[in-house]
């Protein structure tokens, strides 16, 4: 009996399996059954809304009964307005759209996995349910691949750290609103003052991004958000989503960060290195944003990374501050054709790989961002911080704050430049040059 129950608990079921059952027979079955994953009807098709709502409610009631969490998914396909609202011919177009957004948003907010046949379907759903659907979605033009993903075994991380961070952020936002009322600030006016000109500090990890962001953030009129954890926890999903969908979510998260830090009205500084892979979406979310691009000798970056657990074999079994695994496993930014190679190369090769991917991605993405990019060499920063402070003051539109910018950058450490000469072994240096030598030469770090 126990084996039979265990086998049933591992089973998944497709929406197609319900096609020959009546509405109430399907609901009764879902109330009595245990499943790890179910796929239900397409929420973008109006004729399935009633059935879908009943089925979601049935699955969640069964979850409470069996004390488990079933992953509810659906394959969302591109549809026109007549398909979504064809049963409402007597209503105005505006009312039909409002009803569609309300119903679809309510239904999909109760689901865990959403596969899309096109970017258009994903963008439409994000407009209905809000950008928060970003971490639940994947793009699958092939229905068979979508089915495999929707019915895969439950992942422990799906309902854990990211959801917790988002819940905490919402709680803090409510607290900030209450505080605003206590101190005499109208919440609506407070929330409208989010900056349209944030500064994104991008570049490879260990290239001076944290120091630069903190220094700019210490100047009056700027606020360093640090590595905003809710944004960092969603980086992989944002990087693979259509730019329009990712842009909505980025805007939501950065605006929320401003409110929680009471920075609305100033210019926020976002410094998460993985933002480098979101530059196209960021420019959609914030057309007037400024990018400060840090460039450092890849050999120094690799030497610094080798002392960290992030991509090192000694990081196995540990996690970072948002619950993401450290160690030698493959990351979302690794080239698809080389994903199997990443975990088996040397630590030095992986460290060089990090620098090469981040730096080459930043260079390519920033080519199309005209007039909003400030390139800074780390070596120039530590050699002449006053000159960099003066330049940043002018290029960020604050010529009257030159002294403040120079004071903020005064605490640089020149000894960190050229550290590869004393920290890297000949074998490590050879691995780094083999992986990233071409880019090192293009940037003038190698002859």
Query: What pLDDT is attached to residue 382?
Result: 92
Tell me which residues of the chain have a pLDDT lower than 50.
1-10, 156-169, 171-172, 175-176, 178-192
Which DSSP letter does residue 342 get?
G
Q: Which residues contact 165 (CB under 8 A, 6 or more apart)?
A: 229, 230, 233, 322
Q: What are 162-207's pLDDT values in tens digits? A: 344 444 445 445 544 544 444 344 444 444 455 668 999 999 999 9
**Distance of alpha carbon 342 from alpha carbon 340, whole angstroms:** 6
Q: Which residues contact 274 (CB under 8 A, 6 or more apart)?
A: 232, 235, 239, 333
% residues pLDDT > 90 (the chain): 36
**Distance of alpha carbon 35 from alpha carbon 400, whole angstroms:** 63
**Distance of alpha carbon 394 from alpha carbon 324, whole angstroms:** 38
Query: What pLDDT is attached to residue 155?
Result: 58
**Distance of alpha carbon 380 from alpha carbon 363, whole angstroms:** 18
Q: What are 269-286's pLDDT values in tens digits? A: 999 999 999 999 999 999
The gap from C-alpha 382 to its chain's centroid, in whole angstroms, comes to 31
Q: What are 215-225's pLDDT values in tens digits? A: 999 999 898 88
Query: What pLDDT is attached to residue 133?
Result: 67
CATH class of 161-442: alpha beta
């Amino acid at each position: 009996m126990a084996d039979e129950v265990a086998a049933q608990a591992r089973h998944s079921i497709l929406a197609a399996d319900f096609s020959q059952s009546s509405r109430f027979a399907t609901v009764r079955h879902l109330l009595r059954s245990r499943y790890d994953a179910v796929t239900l009807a397409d929420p973008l098709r109006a004729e399935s809304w009633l059935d879908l709502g009943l089925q979601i409610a049935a699955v969640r009631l069964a979850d409470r009964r069996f004390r488990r969490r079933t992953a509810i998914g659906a394959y969302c396909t591109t549809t026109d307005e007549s398909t979504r609202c064809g049963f409402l011919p007597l209503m105005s177009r505006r009312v039909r759209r409002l009803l569609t957004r309300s119903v679809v948003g309510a239904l999909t907010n109760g689901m865990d996995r959403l596969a899309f046949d096109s970017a258009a379907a994903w963008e439409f759903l994000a407009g209905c349910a809000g950008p928060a659907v970003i971490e639940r979605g994947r793009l699958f033009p092939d229905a068979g691949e979508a089915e495999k993903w929707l019915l895969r075994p439950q992942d422990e991380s799906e309902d854990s750290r990211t959801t917790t961070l988002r819940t905490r952020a919402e709680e803090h936002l409510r607290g900030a609103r209450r505080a605003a009322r206590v101190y005499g600030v109208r919440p609506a006016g407070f929330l409208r003052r989010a900056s349209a000109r944030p500064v994104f500090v991008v570049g490879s990890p260990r290239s001076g991004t944290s120091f630069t962001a903190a220094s700019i953030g210490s100047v009056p009129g700027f606020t360093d958000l640090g590595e905003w954890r809710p944004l960092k926890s969603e980086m992989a999903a944002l990087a693979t989503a259509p730019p329009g969908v990712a842009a909505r979510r980025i805007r939501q998260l950065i605006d929320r960060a401003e409110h929680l830090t009471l920075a609305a009205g100033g210019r926020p500084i976002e410094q998460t290195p993985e933002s480098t892979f979101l530059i196209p979406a960021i420019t959609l979310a914030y057309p007037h944003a400024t990018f400060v691009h840090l460039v450092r000798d890849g050999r120094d970056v690799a030497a610094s990374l080798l002392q960290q657990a992030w991509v090192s074999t000694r990081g196995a079994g540990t996690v970072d501050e948002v619950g993401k695994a450290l160690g030698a496993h493959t990351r979302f930014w690794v080239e698809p054709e080389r994903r199997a190679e990443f975990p088996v190369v040397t630590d030095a090769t992986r460290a060089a790989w990090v620098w090469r991917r981040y730096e080459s991605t930043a260079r390519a993405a920033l080519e199309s961002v005209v007039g909003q990019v400030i390139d800074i060499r780390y070596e120039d920063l530590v050699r002449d911080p006053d000159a960099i402070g003066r330049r940043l003051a002018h290029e960020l539109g604050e010529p009257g704050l030159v002294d403040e910018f120079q004071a903020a950058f005064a605490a640089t450490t020149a000894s960190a430049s050229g550290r590869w000469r004393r920290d890297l072994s000949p074998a490590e240096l050879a691995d780094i040059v083999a992986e990233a030598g071409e880019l090192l030469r293009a940037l003038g770090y190698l002859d």
